[in-house]
Structure 1
């Protein structure tokens, strides 16, 4: 079944091994064959991967795009174990992601990884609100 994609002005899209950037106007096109693709909003770069869950998401991106997922899958397992040890409440997300990987549905695993990153951000926000302001330096 063909997939219609609409791109915002200057939005990036990865299709297979090609990176595409839209022009100055909104456009749409149809992908008629089965291929791996990612919208710019689903991509985290190495520079942006500044938390444990974002690094895990980056690994999921590599796993999704890889021709041979065995290497990235091993890295995912190691990273996921560390994340669960640090924050056990993330285990349901990681179990869901692992189940999708086991089923070979790497795109759904990636989507669940995005949920994990959002959960991590919400925990960080709650933690920052819960910590009292540090006392001002007295002179």
Structure 2
């Protein structure tokens, strides 16, 4: 089954580590074989505040983008996810377990997807602790 991507003007995606930028018109791509694909909007910047969930997310995205690092990163990712599983409530810890399951299956994109709600929850908790309301979508607002 092909992966269908509709790209906005000037949107970037990463396919098997190669950054591809769309031209100034909306385009549709069909990826007909297995590939590691992620939209630039789903990537964290290296300058993001290194919270525990963002650290795990960044390691997973690195494994997704750079297949040559997977052998080294997977044990580190599994350790980070195990640590996260001990600090979150049952309401969100399922996302951590789901991410760990996807890592064990080698599906790094789905692992990132499973961690996004956990990251939003972490941002809300940190915002409450600092006395500030979290943005509706802090993940997108910060570019992180």
Confirm or deny a common fold (TM above 0.5). Answer: yes
Q: Compute the displacement of 1:12 (Å).
A: 0.7
Q: Compute the displacement of 1:59 (Å).
A: 0.6
Q: Compute the displacement of 1:108 (Å).
A: 1.4
Q: Which has the larger radius of gyration?
A: 1
Aligned: 1:118 with 2:143: no
Kept in 1: contact 2:81–2:100 (CA 8 A) = no
Kept in 1: contact 2:16–2:36 (CA 8 A) = yes
Moved runs in structure 1, 4+ residues, more than 4 A? none
Give the alignment's Cα RMSD to 1 decimal: 2.2
Kept in 1: contact 2:9–2:26 (CA 8 A) = yes
CA distance 1:3–1:88, shift in 2 (3 Å): closer
Find 1:92's aligned residue among 87, 91, 94. Answer: 94
Kept in 2: contact 1:64–1:110 (CA 8 A) = no
Aligned residues: 129
Q: Secondary structure at the match of 2:76?
A: helix
1:11-47 CA deviation, whole Å, 9 max, x = no partner?
A: 1100112101112222222112221111112111211
Q: Secondary structure at the match of 1:88?
A: coil
CA distance 1:92–1:32, shift in 2 (3 Å): closer
Match of 1:58 in 2: 58
Gaps of 5+ in 1: 131-139
Match of 1:71 in 2: 72
Kept in 2: contact 1:64–1:106 (CA 8 A) = yes
Instruction: Report the more deviating stretch, 68-77 or 56-65.
Output: 68-77
Kept in 2: contact 1:49–1:58 (CA 8 A) = no
Match of 2:14 in 1: 14
1:31-78 CA deviation, whole Å, 9 max, x = no partner?
A: 122211111121112112532211110111122232462211112133
Q: Secondary structure at the match of 1:13?
A: strand
Q: Secondary structure at the match of 2:30?
A: strand
Larger relative contact order, structure 1 or 2 (CA cutoff 8 Å, min sep 6): 2
